[in-house]
A and B are shown apart, each in its own frame.
Chain A
Amino acid sequence: MRSLTEEETKVVFEKLANYIGRNIAFLIDNANDPHVFRLQKDRVYYISEKIAKFATSVSRSQLMSVGICFGKFTKTGKFRLHITALTYLSQYAKYKIWIKTNGEMPFLYGNHVLKAHIGKMSDDIPEHAGVIIYSMNDIPLGFGVSAKSTNEARNLQPTAIVAFRQGDIGEYLREEDTLFT
């Protein structure tokens, strides 16, 4: 386990900025309980500094997970967000889309968000911006990228895609074997 290099930090923060924008500041500047990013194998974890210190006593090969996993670096050096980061993403989300009850299950099965399923959405979403998907009773269901801006989306067909799915909580069941190793 080690802290991220400058380059790695840049890649991770660029990705996060898509979803939470300037709220990234809240992640790194927490005066009374400072949190840090740590890299273990190819995964990036976000934890309280205190816990990170305790975790140093566990050897690298035996440390399976610490705090919340944000995602992993691919072999090509890109950073991919995991659904496990949703806890923090939903907390600091910039753009939000709420989907109706009839759209919940299709989304949790890995489908994109259709116009017909949208209950409400933030007013100022631009095209290709990171959005967090919620159910109508404010349960975070996943995240994705908007296909159209809010204004354009208003005039779409019911079957048209409004947001491309990138991660949803259905992965806890579907991807259990690959997500956590």
Chain B
Amino acid sequence: MGRRAKSKQGLPPTFEEIQAEKERKQNKNKRSAESDRGDSKKSKSNGKSNGKSNGKPSKDNKSKGKPKYEKKVREDVVEDAADLPQVDLEELSSAKKSLFDESEEEEEEDINDEFDLEDANEDEMFDSDEEGRERPMFSDDEEDDLETLNAANMEEYSRRLEQEEAEEAEEAAKELQESQIQPRAKVLPSDEELAVLGNGPQDVTMVRTRMIEIVKVLENFKDLAEEGRSRTEYVNRLLSDICEYFGYSEFLADKLFHLFSPSEAMEFFEANEIARPITIRTNTLRTRRRDLAQALVNRGVNLQPIGSWTKVGLQVFDSQVPIGATPEYLAGHYILQAASSFLPVIALDPQENERVLDMAAAPGGKTTYISALMKNTGCVFANDANKARTKSLIANIHRLGCKNTIVCNYDAREFPKVIGGFDRVLLDAPCSGTGVIAKDESVKVSRTEKDFIQIPHLQKQLLLSAIDSVDANSSTGGIIVYSTCSIAVDENESVVDYALRKRPNVKLVETGLQIGKEGFTSYRGKHFNSKLSLTRRYYPHTYNVDGFYVAKFKKIASSPHDVSKAGAQEKESLARSEAEEEGIIHDDFAEFEHDEDAAIIESSVKRNLKRKGINPHAKKEKEKAL
């Protein structure tokens, strides 16, 4: 826990906790009252005046609440209390004084006690502080008695002390136990409530509270779950609440939820509601970052470098001028580009005088970055399948002054038929966009199961084409980078795994990126190549960039596919027939050929009979005889 978090007030206890605490108090009061009564009886029999002991119970009760919770934290205080009778009177009176000075405060704490239970447990500072003040309080309990302490009642007095002590110790132990096992709250709605919920829109704050509660339960299911409720029930309730609260389709919520732990998933869904910061990339062909920052600051733009992992990125906080129409923008000194879009190019690491292919280039953020890294040498093929989108691609290329680009409008699967033998290929594949929900809300509802079959199908073909377009013998490169702005496993790990299976002549290598989480090597029962941990995942809630995935391959040998003249259509039909074939094996494993089986069964029956010493033909002969 950070220092800051410590000084803050903790979460308020739930209603149940408060209730439990109250009950505990009442019980204790009763008990202590009883014990006092017993004491007073004894003292009567001892011939002592009962005037003082009569007044005592109330006083005892008042001060009881305090030591009780103090005990819970430190039991050794009890021992100190036991020693108290031996303490000399002077010390006691001074303690008494200090008590009075602080009496108001203490009473306040008594009240707070009820609400701040959790806080007090966590806060060490508070405790240690309390300790010093606490001690006089104990002596106060016994103060009346001590004044009249004499040889006659000494024995009785010490016995009472011991009894109290034992009682408190017992309670402290009990309480310690209780604080560990919190009361199991009912967070799931009952059947009647469910019926009501189905009728119309729900109270948003209620849904939110319930989501938080469920996540808390799921984090510690063993201790917090309601009896007789399964984990699935909780998860299902949470999923439908997420759909209700954030507006996801059930299918997508389920898909995204299972990528994370419950609490992380909540963070992810909440991060998707907030827009990512505006970022710009300095065009190093035209200017330097420092000069650009200076020029923009002069125009009233508030900005700051993105992070240590990029030397060209700037984050814009606010601006008095439209950031996409300043003279610097029009002169091509920078381009508006999401921070996550830097990553695949950094991973690609293009070198000067290489030939590079960007398979899905529009609107040109990555292409121009590649061109800038190559300092306008070599050659960059920028391809995009959508003719309308090449317009913005060409505009950006010219505005940023990239002189080494060729823009073409092919289906990217046509490569390497069009031209192969590239040093590096970047495939920023078209995807479902589950990483950029903050940018495009429509993803929440528009994506269906069909998309998660069709899109990966295309991505697999594209990735194979990308691999085939690379020259394995390139002295500097032989690199393929695959990236998507999706976080779904179907579009990332499983596509990469597919490529590794289909093209044994490539291997995964380190991306060379400073940030990012490792890719999954297994997910919900599917197991991928162990090397997939070299790929990188990015989430909105961890790095405040769009959700992203980057994998970097190195081609180590050429393959017959490199010279294949198959175009997009041939590849499509090939992939289709392949998928069908695999589908047959996976779905309905085999059909029974009853005729063939019958002969085999018969022969094995005969063999078994023979082994038992029965002549299989004997039966037949018998039948014949009959």
Contact = CB atoms under 8 A, between A and B. Distances in A.
B403 A65 contact: no
Nearest to B285: A87
Interface residues of A, number: 35
A67 B405 contact: yes
B418 A58 contact: yes
B277 to A, nearest CB: 23
Given A58-B419, A63-B406, A67-B404, A176 B392 contact: yes
B614 interface: no
A65 B397 contact: yes
A140 B401 CA distance: 12
A46 B124 CA distance: 73
Given A140-B331, A172-B330, A68 B403 contact: yes
Contacts of A140: 331
A179 B327 contact: no
Interface stretch (A15-23, A49-57, A149-157): A49-57
Nearest to B411: A62
Interface string B277-313: 0000000000000000001000000000000000000
B325 A173 contact: yes
B406 A51 contact: yes
A7 interface: no
> At the interface, is chain B mostly helix, strand, loop or mixed?
mixed
Nearest to B333: A139
Interface residues on B, range: 20 to 34
A74 interface: no
A180 interface: yes
Given A84-B398, A141-B331, A180 B295 contact: no
A180 B355 contact: no
Nearest to A107: B327
B419 A57 contact: yes
A172 B419 contact: no
Interface in B303-360: 325, 327-328, 330-333, 355
Given A173-B325, A177-B391, A87 B330 contact: no
A169 interface: yes
B245 interface: no
Contacts of A176: 391-392, 395
B395 A172 contact: yes
Contacts of B295: 137
Contacts of A87: 398, 401, 403
B161 interface: no
B330 A65 contact: no
Interface in B380-412: 381, 387, 390-395, 397-399, 401, 403-410
Nearest to B376: A48
Contact of B328 (A62, A139, A180): A139
Which one of B392, B394, B403, B406 has the highest number of Cβ atoms from chain A below 10 Å of its Cβ? B406
A180 B395 contact: yes
28 contacts: A48-B403, A51-B379, A51-B404, A54-B419, A55-B406, A62-B408, A62-B409, A63-B407, A63-B408, A63-B409, A64-B387, A64-B390, A64-B393, A65-B390, A65-B394, A65-B405, A66-B406, A66-B407, A67-B403, A68-B403, A104-B327, A135-B327, A139-B331, A169-B331, A169-B399, A176-B395, A180-B395, A181-B391
The 7 tightest CB contacts between A and B, nearest first, are A169-B330, A65-B407, A84-B398, A64-B407, A57-B419, A180-B394, A65-B394
Interface of B: 295, 325, 327-328, 330-333, 355, 379, 381, 387, 390-395, 397-399, 401, 403-410, 418-419
Interface of A: 47-48, 50-51, 54-55, 57-58, 62-69, 84, 87, 104-105, 108, 135, 137, 139-141, 169-170, 172-173, 176-177, 179-181
